[in-house]
Chains A and B, each alone.
Chain A
Amino acid sequence: DQQVKQNSPSLSVQEGRISILNCDYTNSMFDYFLWYKKYPAEGPTFLISISSIKDKNEDGRFTVFLNKSAKHLSLHIVPSQPGDSAVYFCAANLYNQGGKLIFGQGTELSVKP
């Protein structure tokens, strides 16, 4: 049972344009959502997060939107840069589970110059 889903395995975007990565979840008890960036053979690096009580969080070029009624979140990167090319994972934290994270399958973003 995949509680966190990233249905697009890959996304290709032109440099300077917006990248939109999507994530859906099924468990309404998730209280915190995070986005991680990962390069091959490396551990994930934290990018940005959002609490379930908010609908938007912005940090520089990265903005995360949360739609609780649709159980959907998205990560917007604008403008996209070639260095953003990596695999992006969304993750959800279950309330009162000691920080345990449930990850989506990842979306490989390719930003072309």
Chain B
Amino acid sequence: GAVVSQHPSRVICKSGTSVKIECRSLDFQATTMFWYRQFPKQSLMLMATSNEGSKATYEQGVEKDKFLINHASLTLSTLTVTSAHPEDSSFYICSASHPGGEQYFGPGTRLTVT
């Protein structure tokens, strides 16, 4: 199957700092990528849809100024958590839409804000 990578896999940052998470489709081009967030033992909650070359579409309740998304190329989308707070600690997962229609997920990034 197609491969989607995320970097870093795990990050610890101090409250008030910003953290950037990268999502890459390694062997296909993805015009659309999605960012999810998962709390322990809960569902994956869609945060935003990232479209290459245009602004991201955010789900209701997700602060676009806090979770900055950039989809600068067909293989890379980045999520920047600005002014992170402990409540932003979570597991962030991206997915990329394959041209064949399937959606492939990255391995996730564990963010811990101290």
Interface residue ranges, A against B (CB under 8 Å): 9, 36, 41-46, 89, 98-106
Contacts and interface: CB of A to CB of B under 8 A. Distances in A.
Contacts of A44: 44, 93, 105
Nearest to A5: B43
Main secondary structure of the interface of A (DSSP, over half): loop
Contacts, number: 53
Given A46-B103, A101-B34, A106-B42, 16 more contacts: A9-B41, A41-B110, A43-B4, A43-B93, A43-B106, A45-B105, A89-B44, A98-B32, A99-B34, A99-B103, A100-B34, A100-B46, A100-B49, A101-B46, A101-B103, A103-B46
Interface of B: 1, 4, 6, 32, 34, 36, 41-46, 49, 91, 93, 95, 97, 101-108, 110
Interface centre among A44, A46, A102 (most CB of B within 10 A): A44
Contact of A43 (B41, B102, B107): B107
B72 to A, nearest CB: 19
B89 to A, nearest CB: 14
